[in-house]
Amino acid sequence: MTIDTTPPGLDRRTALKMAALMGGAATLGGRPVRAQDTARISFVDPAYRDFYNERENYFLRDAGWVEETLPRITWPRDGERIPEFKVLLQTSRPDWIDAWRRWVVDAEKVGIKYNVQQVSQARYLEAILSHRHGDVEVHNAVPRVERLDPSEWLVSRAYGLDRRNYGEWANRQYDAEIEAQARTTSRDERMQHVHRAQAILADDLYITQYGWGPQIIQAYNSAAWSDVVSATGFGIADFNIFHTYLRATPRTNRRRAVVGVTSVDRSINLISAANRYRAIGRMIYDRLAFLDENLNVIPWAAESWTQIDSKTWDLTLRDGMEFHDGRPVTVHDLKFTFDFLMAYDRGFFWTANSNIENVAIRDEERRVVRISFKQPYAEFETYFLILNVIFPKHVWERLASEQGLKEGEDARRLVVEPRDQIGSGPFRFGRYRRDTELQLIANKKHFAAPKLDEIVMVVVPSVDGLLGRMQSGQIDFMDGVWMTPSQARSLEGQRHITMAPARDINWVHGVTRAAWLPWRDYEFRRAWHHTFDRRFLVDVVWEGGGRVPAANTFLVEGHPWHNPGLPPIPAFDLDQARQILQQAGYRWASDGRLMYPAPTDEAWRQRVRGVVKPGAGYEWAGIKMIDDA
């Protein structure tokens, strides 16, 4: 019996012919998965099986995934070598390959071989989303305001039932902490769960941190501007936390700030926007709450909020707000925004708003709206309020009807022309030349009105171009651009330029394929950790602009939710790695390649079956080894 995945309306022969013609492309929905293969893959907890079987063309329903997984959960023969580890790196991240070149050489000294490939971002994303990336998933933190909630990475990278848990790690104790922290609405209680989750993650050696950084070094034209604000994790110039653009005071007559960016986002519909416009759009549309430069939640369009119970909040809208077209902001607009985002396919907002049960106007006079959720919602402040904005009802209703958007359809396809970019935020949408420039005009009536008059973003795609323009005084800020120490040095001695360092909370990590051999063996993971010279990444590749990580956690030192009591990462020590491997029963072939322990090694088999750290009280819930006996 086979599960047929060919598209309807195309008989199998034609499909095969076309597949041959195209070199077997995946576009036809992939090859069929053989039922006898998937039957061999079993899970400790059947809930995981359902989870991995849910999605068409993915995981258990992806022949490629099954094919790659089977040999790695089959007991190896006597004398079998540890396979070459596939690692995919993004072309757009040159620091990864620069570090890996060195790490590959080091690992070879203990008999570990890698196959490191550099691929485009597109290909990389496709690979990791379908868990077809190989052995180690390498990733970096991209700072965004709505990603500061502690659960962002804890859930997406390690929670057993999240598809972005790329190593298919399933540690029951960890998952329990994650579920608990999502339900509690007490910050202290949540902090405890988050700390415990970090401790388990660091202890089980599932992910590894390669470096904390790169360091944030930014420069600005201090001859023209004073009172810049440096925000943790973002620096002085970042549309995500735009306090600089609100408080910067001109030193000259020029009240226009020119901001260099490497690209301007291509969609200016906030619902379909990519990273940059998600941030810029929130300068135009007020979000409900915001963060200060130390990443504490502060009221924004919502003046205050009170919790009624674990699922319900009352939200009070700030008084006296106005949209850019002069109409007042009312609770009707707020209610409309949520109703709209729930009625239509809403992309980016989906994760935050899929949990909403109901939004009701409670007191129009005192501007109170009651929001109730389907489940207890821990991320209300740190995620929900920060992500959501207020759309003017009169504009978006018109857009939807003009463009014939029907209920349930995708609101991302709405075209929002510059003239319809009407929010209540501190900036108005000004001139817009795609790929060239974008002007934001200060809204002087705003409660946090900017001191400057306007911002002009200019697109300069190369770092050299940006630095050159900075040096010649043509731009005042470089938004979202962090310089390397050597780039910073090249601007030294320019009297109009001041360097502004900021606290960073970024990282680059690697996720092991915990469900596969040899990663299933905790001792192997421990030895593997010892093969990384993290100092090389920090000192050489990042030119010293970064930190050697102190522990395996996403919430790095400096992050408000960081757990300071975590065990350190096994340090770079190839002898130590070799010793651990030897004691764990691993052997070396004549060519120096590492071999699995002897099949009779019961201690090893025990560890492989259990996956999680032995003796720590953890339980494995995920993929089982195929037992031939």
Partner 1 sequence: MHAWRTFVLRRLALLLFVIVSILTMMFFLFKLLPGDPTSVFVDSNFPDDMVQRQKALWGLDAPIWVQYLRYMGNMLTFDFGTSFFQMMPVRDIVVEKLLHTASMIVPAVIISVALGATLGAWLGWRRGTRREGAAVVTLLTLRSVPSFFAGIMVLMIFSYWLGWFPPGGMVSVGGAGDSFWETVLTIDFLHHLALPCLVLVSREITSPALLLRSTMLEVKGSDFLDVLRAKGLPERRIVVHATRNALLPLVTDVAVMMGFLFQGQVLLEIIFAWPGVGRELVTALNDLDYPVAQACFFVMALIILITNFIADILYSVIDPRVAYD
Partner 2 sequence: MAGTQSLRSPAVAPSAGVASGIGALWRVLRIIMGYPTGAIGLVLILLFALMAIFGPMLAPQSPFEVSRTAAGGVVRLSPPSWDNWLGTTNQGLDVFSQLLWGARVALTVGVISAIGSIVLGTLIGLIAGYFGGWTDEVLMRITDVAFGIPFLPTALVIISITGPSLALIILLITLFLWRTTARVIRAQVLTLKTRPFVWAAKAAGASEAKIIFVHIAPNVLPLSFLYMAIGVQGGVMLEAALSFLGFGDPHVMSWGSMLNEAFKAGAMRTAWWWVAPPGIALSLFVVSVFMVTRAYEELLNPRLREI
Among 424, 484, 506, 553, binds partner 2 (CB under 8 A): 484
Place of tokens 């039922």: 35
Q: Which does 371 bind (CB under 5 to 8 A by kind): partner 2, partner 1, none?
A: none
**Residue 126 lies near partner 2 (rule: CB under 8 A):** no
The whole-angstrom separation of Cα 264 and Cα 468 is 19
Q: Which does 228 bind (CB under 5 to 8 A by kind): partner 2, partner 1, none?
A: none
Give the H/E segment covering residue 66. helix 63-69
Among 122, 540, 603, 616, binds partner 1 (CB under 8 A): 122
Q: Which does 54 bind (CB under 5 to 8 A by kind): partner 2, partner 1, none?
A: partner 1
Smallest gap from residue 27 Cβ to partner 1 (A): 5
Terminus-to-terminus CA distance in the chain, angstroms? 25
Which lies closer to partner 1 via its Cβ, residue 385 or residue 475?
475
Among 15, 18, 119, 342, binds partner 2 (CB under 8 A): 119
Q: Which stretch binds partner 1 (CB under 8 A): 4-12, 380-388, 508-516, 519-527?
A: 4-12
Distant-in-sequence, close-in-space partners of 462: CB < 8 Å, separation ≥ 6: 262
Residue in 607, 532, 522 with CA at minimum distance from that of residue 203: 522
Q: Which stretch binds partner 2 (CB under 8 A): 90-98, 180-188, 218-226, 334-342?
A: 90-98
The helices-and-strands tally (H runs, E runs) of the chain is 21, 24
The token pair that represents 233 in the structure block: 């994790």
The whole-angstrom separation of Cα 627 and Cα 221 is 66
The DSSP-derived string for 359-395 is EEEEETTTTEEEEEESS--TTIIIIIHHH-B---HHH
Which lies closer to partner 1 via its Cβ, residue 10 or residue 603?
10
The whole-angstrom separation of Cα 589 and Cα 79 is 8
Q: Which stretch binds partner 1 (CB under 8 A): 48-56, 181-189, 295-303, 311-319?
A: 48-56
**Residue 463 lies near partner 2 (rule: CB under 8 A):** yes
Which lies closer to partner 2 via its Cβ, residue 474 or residue 490?
490
Which lies closer to partner 1 via its Cβ, residue 8 or residue 326?
8
**Residue 123 lies near partner 2 (rule: CB under 8 A):** yes
Smallest gap from residue 17 Cβ to partner 1 (A): 11
**In angstroms, how far is CA 343 from the centroid of its own chain?**
26
Task: Tell me the C-alpha to C-alpha distance, in Å, between residue 274 and each of 39, 144, 277, 385, 624.
Answer: 40, 12, 6, 19, 39
The token pair that represents 453 in the structure block: 């008059």
**Residue 467 lies near partner 2 (rule: CB under 8 A):** yes
Asked if 264 and 438 count as a contact pair (C-beta separation under 8 A), the reply is yes
The whole-angstrom separation of Cα 611 and Cα 146 is 33
Q: Which does 484 bind (CB under 5 to 8 A by kind): partner 1, partner 2, none?
A: partner 2
The token pair that represents 238 in the structure block: 């970042």
Which lies closer to partner 2 via its Cβ, residue 27 or residue 403?
27
Which lies closer to partner 2 via its Cβ, residue 118 or residue 192?
118
Smallest gap from residue 436 Cβ to partner 1 (A): 5
**Residue 543 lies near partner 2 (rule: CB under 8 A):** yes
The whole-angstrom separation of Cα 89 and Cα 522 is 25
The whole-angstrom separation of Cα 39 and Cα 33 is 11
Instruction: Look up residue 467 and give its amino acid.
Output: L
Among 218, 232, 269, 563, binds partner 1 (CB under 8 A): 269
**Residue 351 lies near partner 1 (rule: CB under 8 A):** yes
Binding map of partner 2 across residues 187-206, x = CB under 8 A, - = no contact = --------------------
**Residue 474 lies near partner 1 (rule: CB under 8 A):** yes
Report helix, strand or coil for 507. Answer: coil
Residue in 272, 317, 425, 588 with CA at minimum distance from that of residue 597: 588
Q: Which stretch binds partner 2 (CB under 8 A): 57-65, 535-543, 563-571, 586-594?
A: 535-543
Read off the DSSP letter of residue 489: H
Q: Which of residues 9-38 bind partner 1 (CB under 8 A)?
A: 9-10, 14, 18, 21-23, 25-28
**Residue 267 lies near partner 1 (rule: CB under 8 A):** yes
Long-range contacts of 615-619 (CB under 8 A, 24+ apart): 616/203, 616/204, 617/173, 618/171, 618/172, 618/173, 618/174, 618/200, 618/204, 619/44, 619/171, 619/172, 619/173
The token pair that represents 183 in the structure block: 């339900």
Asked if 335 and 361 count as a contact pair (C-beta separation under 8 A), the reply is yes
Among 80, 126, 543, 601, binds partner 1 (CB under 8 A): 126
**Residue 473 lies near partner 2 (rule: CB under 8 A):** no
Asked if 325 and 319 count as a contact pair (C-beta separation under 8 A), the reply is no
Using CB under 8 A, list all residues that contact partner 1. Answer: 7-10, 14, 18, 21-23, 25-28, 54-56, 92, 120-123, 125-126, 129, 162-164, 258, 263, 266-267, 269, 272, 274, 345, 347, 350-351, 410, 412-415, 431, 433-437, 439, 456, 458-462, 464-465, 468-469, 471-472, 474-475
Residues that bind partner 2 (CB under 8 A): 89, 91, 94, 97-98, 101-102, 116-120, 122-123, 462-464, 466-468, 471, 483-484, 486-487, 490, 539-541, 543
